[in-house]
A and B are shown apart, each in its own frame.
Chain A
Amino acid sequence: EIVLTQSPATLSLFPGERATLSCWASQNIRTSLAWYQFKPGQAPRLLIFATSNRATGIPARFSGSGSGTDFTLTISSLEPEDFAVYYCQQRSDWPPSFGQGTKVEIK
Chain B
Amino acid sequence: QIHLMQSGAEVRKPGASVKVSCKTSGYSFSNYAMHWVRQAPGRRPEWMAGINVGNGNTYYSLKYQDRVTVTRDTPASTVYLELSSLRAEDTAVYYCTRDFDIVAAPYTFDHWGQGSLVTVSS
A interface list, Cβ under 8 A from B: 32, 34, 36, 38, 41-46, 49-50, 55-56, 87, 89, 91, 94-101
Contacts and interface: CB of A to CB of B under 8 A. Distances in A.
A76 B44 CA distance: 25
Contacts, number: 56
Nearest to A55: B110
27 contacts: A32-B105, A36-B109, A43-B111, A43-B113, A43-B114, A44-B109, A44-B112, A45-B112, A46-B100, A46-B108, A46-B110, A46-B111, A49-B105, A50-B108, A55-B110, A56-B110, A87-B45, A89-B45, A91-B106, A91-B107, A94-B107, A95-B61, A95-B62, A96-B47, A98-B47, A99-B44, A101-B44
B89 interface: no
Secondary structure at the A interface, as helix, strand, loop or mixed, is: loop
